[in-house]
Amino acid sequence: MKLSQFKFNLPESLLASEPSEHRDESRLMVLHRDTGKIEHKIFKDVLDYFDDKDVMILNNTKVFPARMYGNKEKTGATIEVFLLRELNRELRLWDVLVDPARKIRVGNKLYFGEEDLLVAEVVDNTTSRGRTIRFLFDGTDEEFRRNIEILGETPLPKYIKRKATPEDKFRYQTIYAKNEGAVAAPTAGLHFSRELMKRLELKGVDFAEVTLHVGLGTFRTVEVEDLTKHKMDSEQFIITDEAAKTVNKGIDNKRRICAVGTTSMRAIESSVSADRHLKPAADWTSKFIYPPYDFSIANSMITNFHTPESTLLVMIAAFAGYENIMNAYDVAVKEKYRFYSYGDAMLII
């Protein structure tokens, strides 16, 4: 398939810059894969589509405050530093993006916070905006992370044209987030409230937690018309024995297996055994799913509404069928569903 087949007109007014008042009261579009039928619901109605021994696969990655602002030595110019991933904990080496990049060269020092709480030195250029930096910090790892917490901001997506607030720290995070390492939230999970999780549990639904640390590569613009030529950035993922057992029991019992989010889907599809069961793993994946694709584990999924021509839209078209998805997105625009990270949700069954 070609990238241009995934174009659609998305009015800017439909980009959600604030979360819904209550997590589980955003809107929910239900799309039936076999018929293309569409239902309009509220997210907490997801309860009606799951039963005893069905399995929901959740990505328990935790977003850290990845966006920091520092000052360049001598000039004092303000530089945005976006922490992508820790390369070496002992040496405090990090892979980052800097903006404006043209001002930042190897050897430059950056100072963070009023009291220069942290100082970093640029040690390498990686891409046009990418740098490797080393934090010059003698304290414990715990103290270092506390300083990152103090200095860093919630890494809201760039389309949200406002400063991050204390509420974002809580709302741009799933309620089941555990393993720190993501620079973007697995947004399909943002709709789950504690009450809804409890009600699903009481109904007998099993939860399997996997981890995929979401990097910016998930959202990187596709720049090739031929989808087979697009390369995804690698993201770290972990599937425990316990999660694999829960999912495989559901598969063997022919239950509904639901991937909550495209990141959960990428993690499980990156670790499939020869007999189409889920394997435990601790690895990196650069898997890009595009039509036609034969999914092995999940037979349903929950996802947000994605950007035109994004890898996320391409993946859900592979899962639900291209015509179904493009029609559903047409309806979503007409019905004024909210798009992107803080937007509404879709259940594909």
- Residues 117 and 230 both lie in one domain: no
The CATH number for 75's domain is 2.40.10.240
Q: For the chain, first and last CA: distance in Å?
A: 23
pTM, to two decimals: 0.92
297 in a structural domain: yes
Residue 165 falls within a domain, yes or no? no
The answer to whether residue 164 is domain-embedded is no
Structural domain boundaries enclosing 141: 67-153
pLDDT of residue 235: 92
| Whether residue 76 sits in one domain with residue 47 | no
The more confident residue out of 126 and 310 is 310
Residue 49 lies in a domain: yes
When pLDDT is averaged across residues 73-89 and rounded to a whole number, the result is 90
Whether residue 33 is contained in a domain is answered as yes
Q: How many CB atoms lie within 10 A of CB 213?
A: 24
Residue 68 in this model has a pLDDT that exceeds 90: yes
For residues 74-83, give the mean pLDDT: 90
8 Å CB contact between 345 and 28 = yes
State pLDDT tens for residues 208-257. 999 999 987 777 789 999 999 999 988 999 999 999 999 999 999 999 99
> Domain boundary at 123, 153, 183, which?
153
| pLDDT class of 289 with cuts at 50, 70, 90 | very high
The domain that contains 281 carries what CATH number? Answer: 3.40.1780.10
- Write down the residue that tokens 């309860």 correspond to: 47
Contacts for 87 with CB less than 8 Å, ≥ 6 apart: 93, 94, 95, 132
- Say if residue 196 is in the same domain as residue 326: yes
124 and 44 part of one domain: no
DSSP code, position 4: G
Assess whether 88 and 230 both reside in one domain: no
Are 12 and 137 contained in the same domain? no
Domain count, the chain: 2
Whole-number Å distance between alpha carbons of 257 and 264: 12
Give the distance from CA 252 to its chain's centroid: 29
Which of 124, 153, 182 is where one domain is finished?
Answer: 153
Q: Which of 8-12, 74-78, 219-223, 332-336 is predicted least confidently?
A: 219-223
Q: Do both 294 and 188 map to the same domain?
A: yes
Residues 213 and 338 in one domain: yes
- Report the DSSP pairing between strands 300-304 and 257-260: parallel
Is residue 268, in this structure, part of any structural domain at all? yes
CA distance 331 to 14: 13
Q: Mind listing the pLDDT tens digit for each residue in 258-271?
A: 999 999 999 999 99
Burial 95-115 (b: 16+ CB within 10 A, else e): bbbbeebeebeeebbbbbeee
pLDDT tens for 103-157 read 899 999 999 998 889 999 999 988 778 899 999 999 999 999 999 999 999 999 8
In a domain, 159, yes or no: no
Asked if residue 163 is part of any domain, the answer here is no
What is residue 281's predicted lDDT score, i.e. its pLDDT? 98
Looking at the fold, whether 249 and 185 belong to one and the same domain comes out as yes
Task: Tell me: do 239 and 283 sit in the same domain.
Answer: yes
Cα-Cα-Cα-Cα dihedral sign, residues 160, 165, 167, 171: positive
DSSP string, 278-302: B--EEEEE-----SS----S-SEEE
Is the separation of the CB atoms in 119 and 112 below 8 Å?
Answer: yes
Same domain, 26 and 146: no
If you average pLDDT over residues 144-171, what whole number do you get?
92
Same domain, 129 and 190: no
